[in-house]
Amino acid sequence: MQNGNTAHIWKLLNTIPDPEIPAISIVELGVIRDVTFSDKSYTILITPTYSGCPAVKTFTDDIKECLKENGVRNFKLKLIYSPAWTTDWMTDKTKEKLRKYGIAPPSNTVRCPQCNSKNVEILSEFGATACKSMCRCSNCLEPFEFFKCI
């Protein structure tokens, strides 16, 4: 366990759900930038989505708990700001998970996650979390959240 198996660490991290959008993991969200091993210790580089996102504190604690529970004790977390987090890092698979969860994934064209209509209106650029805005579908009339592109 303590021999520098970074793939194993990635696997463990991928089991940690995003505290605010549990449909995807923090790895899928793109906040884990790298996992390295040197001097008998892992370094996990993390980056915030938004500067003030309160989820950062939560997922930092979640990472510590998850690794300790799985017997990994020789690690440190490092917060980095460059390159700045971008929704471009999300894979199509992750975006599809968001859509199924009811959140319109980041895209230049906002589509209703329920009926796939492009006939939508943005109600507010700011939503329940820093990364989302509030929308309504003019076709099926359902309100939904849109994951902002940054």
Partner 1 sequence: MNSLIQYTLRIADSSLILGQRMSQWCSNGPTLEEDIAMSNIALDLFGQANGFYEYAAQLDGSRSADELAFKRNEREFFNHQLSEQENGNFGTTTVRNFLHDAFNFLFYTELASSKDETLAALSAKSLKEVKYHLRHSSNWLIRLGDGTQESNMKVQESLNFLWQYTGELFEMDEIDNEMLDEGAGVDNNKLRKGWDEIINSTIEKAKLTRPVDGYMANGSKKGIHTEHLGFLLAEMQFLPRAYPDAKW
**Given the rule CB under 8 A, which residues bind partner 1?**
48, 50-54, 80-85, 123-128, 130, 134, 148, 150
Element (H, E) at 124: strand 120-124
48-79 CB burial, b ≥16 within 10 A, e <16: bbeeebebbeebbebbbebbeeeebeebeeee
Place of tokens 């390159």: 83
| Nearer Cβ to partner 1 (54/102) | 54
Taking the complex as a whole, the smallest distance from the CB of residue 134 to partner 1 amounts, in Å, to 7
Taking the complex as a whole, the smallest distance from the CB of residue 8 to partner 1 amounts, in Å, to 30
Taking the complex as a whole, the smallest distance from the CB of residue 77 to partner 1 amounts, in Å, to 14
| Nearer Cβ to partner 1 (22/54) | 54
Q: What angle do CA 56, 60, 62 make, to 5 degrees?
A: 115
DSSP 134-146: EEEETTT--EEEE
| Nearer Cβ to partner 1 (48/105) | 48
Taking the complex as a whole, the smallest distance from the CB of residue 86 to partner 1 amounts, in Å, to 8
Token pair listed for 132 = 């989302």
| Nearer Cβ to partner 1 (30/48) | 48
